[in-house]
A and B are shown apart, each in its own frame.
Chain A
């Protein structure tokens, strides 16, 4: 747990743009909420790697959101099942269902659908919220935290140096 907090602080204290960290967390949310073996996971991995987002934040967020999904799956199931059974959307879903590429996404699964829709709904608010919070953190708390003993230890590690070189 300490290692996770330390990793998180390291990300926050890095020189990455707040937008890159926030976007990484949002993408990881979509990937983490979705079942592991799904096309949306693969697509989020593609975006995470191709877009210049913070990779540490992406991988850290993926793990955290996957853990959170473990508890939220019943909610995803209910939302997804509700949407998949809306009479007004029946024709739309049926058309998607008969498209080979869309069938592979398993959108017709209640958890896949629910997690994806909830992720989309939360994507922009979470992005803005995180962006604002990171900026506030860096303005008001970062200098204080960097002086703490744990931050000093982290900054002295080779991993941090390597990370700086990559980001």
Chain B
């Protein structure tokens, strides 16, 4: 069929207005531009990831290579290494291969919506060839954690079970019994002197004999005048004798009272010595304090360090989770940039998060083997997604354990009340020796469960570790307490360890308890009791030796006082024998 004239006319007009080679040039130009971006943007993307990562982590982040993809739109990153800020020659995280596919429409709306992501070869704690420390940033002082490798004595504040040197103690301690004995000795000496002086002033036997002679002479008198005189002198003599008897009796009573008092104090010296022993036993006590939480002391530092490390990672990620993107910007420009203008932000419908990983498959390599898992809804705007971020990892038939599973839930749907949770489960665990230095704990098999939550920064959680076929190894350091501990631990076959987690992110508190506590505490307490009894017996003996000699000496001195009483009694008898 021949073309009509009208068709020729329209074709001519079209040719007049359309420049096909121009269109071709445009397509080639745009094609080359886009191809150039995809070919040469990889290093720029890698640099961007390194820069942003380094800024966020405070340590060097390296990317081996980055390649953007067009069909489908995505990105492949290889050789991602994140340095541990506390150990610059170690990577806290290493990812060998990361592939992600982007939602094109979301990207056109300025959103990064990752539909599918595959992260393979995740490793922790790998060595670095070059230090990842940032030279320009001053190093933060490392937090001192309970370092492994400490001796048993350092890790557990055990009583040494060494009986203190009694002689050395008595050389530096003053005994109340001896002090009292010395005081009594002085008093006795003074009393004896005082009564002896007083005795000299009292009528003696010669004076009384004089009274007797005078009485007999008076009785011999004859005549009225003599009778009158005799009667007067007799009255005077009787008065003098009565006065002397009274003085002698009073002195005897005084002496008796003093002897009674001083004898009582001498008798009390024995009780004082016993009190001294009790005081010294209490002062140089071999206590069983500090044995209340043996499990925490034995296992705490290592497990605490692990939990603290996990919390450190969480604290690093937490600011990102807490950051909420602003969707409703103020319509009024805050700053007018003359050549760039101001973006007017309208309401998005539907609201989408700025960054979202809908689903990621993870392949994690740990020393025990490979774990597979997934990450869902990774975003810092969970309120827009309506679902929490969930991380799952699990592995079966691993080296040294039958099964391991981990679930982490980051619930920020309500940003005002964030809730995070971790559940970990290990079954059929064949733990390697736990603890270092001269103490270690091994077990044939173990199961571990951990459940921890963080609500608005407050920690709460419980852990449970059930170990069977338990065996302990305590190095023989010559410490008797260590031997007691070894002996007690030999009887332990299974162990149930509980951990209670509380506190907050700044000050996490982890309290461990186990059936071990009672066993160890009982054994050590028995040993402490025995050592304490030996110590008390030695003290009793030594204090007794020192005080009993003094008591004997004092008793002899008080007998001297008693002798004065005999003299007084003799004089009183003589005085009372005078018959008027």
Residues of A within 8 A of B (CB): 35, 42, 45-46, 48-52, 70, 73-74, 76-77, 80-81, 84-85, 90, 93-94, 97-98, 100-101, 103-104, 106, 108-112, 114
Contacts and interface: CB of A to CB of B under 8 A. Distances in A.
A72 B142 CA distance: 58
A86 to B, nearest CB: 11
Contact of A101 (B19, B108, B336): B108
B341 A52 contact: no
Given A49-B23, A50-B26, A109 B341 contact: yes
Q: When A and B form their complex, which 4 residue pairs have the shortest distance between CB atoms, in order from nearest?
A: A111-B341, A49-B22, A100-B108, A97-B346
B341 A85 contact: no
A77 B23 contact: no
B25 A49 contact: yes
B161 to A, nearest CB: 78
A112 B341 contact: yes
A109 B343 contact: yes
B16 A110 contact: no
Interface string B18-43: 11101101100010000000000000
Contact of A81 (B25, B30, B110, B342): B342
A91 to B, nearest CB: 10
B434 to A, nearest CB: 56
29 contacts: A35-B339, A42-B30, A45-B26, A46-B23, A46-B26, A48-B22, A49-B23, A49-B25, A51-B18, A73-B339, A73-B341, A74-B338, A77-B341, A77-B342, A80-B341, A94-B346, A97-B346, A97-B347, A100-B104, A100-B105, A101-B108, A103-B108, A103-B110, A104-B108, A108-B345, A109-B340, A109-B343, A110-B342, A111-B339
Nearest to A115: B341
A52 B18 contact: yes
B342 A50 contact: no
Contact of A50 (B19, B110, B346, B347): B19
A78 B344 CA distance: 12
Given A49-B23, A94-B346, A103-B109, 4 more contacts: A42-B30, A46-B23, A98-B349, A100-B105
Contact of A76 (B23, B341, B344): B341
A51 B19 contact: yes
Contacts of B109: 98, 100, 103
B109 to A, nearest CB: 5
A109 to B, nearest CB: 5
A50 B348 contact: no
Task: Name which of B22, B26, B341 has the most chain A CB atoms within 10 A of its CB.
Answer: B341
A50 B17 CA distance: 8
A81 B19 contact: no
B193 interface: no
A146 to B, nearest CB: 26
A53 B23 CA distance: 13
Contacts of A104: 108
B108 A51 contact: no
A90 B17 CA distance: 38
Contacts of B331: 85
Contact of A52 (B17, B26, B105, B349): B17
B333 interface: yes
Nearest to B33: A42
Contact of A108 (B23, B339, B344): B344
A103 B345 CA distance: 11
B343 A94 contact: no
Contacts of B22: 48-52
Contacts of B340: 35, 109, 111
Secondary structure of the A side of the interface? helix
A109 B18 CA distance: 32
Contacts of A46: 23, 26
A109 B342 contact: yes
Interface in B446-504: none
Contact of B346 (A81, A108, A110, A114): A108
A50 B344 contact: no
Interface in B1-59: 16-20, 22-23, 25-26, 30
Given A50-B23, A73-B339, A85-B331, A110 B344 contact: yes
Contacts of A81: 333, 342, 344
B348 A108 contact: no
A54 to B, nearest CB: 11
A159 B19 CA distance: 21
A52 B23 CA distance: 10
Given A77-B336, A85-B344, A94-B346, A52 B16 contact: yes
A53 to B, nearest CB: 8
Interface string B83-110: 0000000000000000000001110111
A86 B180 CA distance: 104
Nearest to A74: B338
A97 B111 CA distance: 13
B298 to A, nearest CB: 61
Contacts of B341: 35, 73, 76-77, 80, 109-112, 114
A76 B18 CA distance: 32
A67 B23 CA distance: 27
Nearest to B345: A108
A95 B348 CA distance: 9
Nearest to A50: B23
A63 B106 CA distance: 34
Contacts of B339: 35, 70, 73, 111
Nearest to A42: B30
Contact of B343 (A45, A51, A74, A108): A108
A106 B340 CA distance: 11
Contacts of B344: 81, 84-85, 93, 108-110
Contacts of A114: 341
A93 B110 CA distance: 17
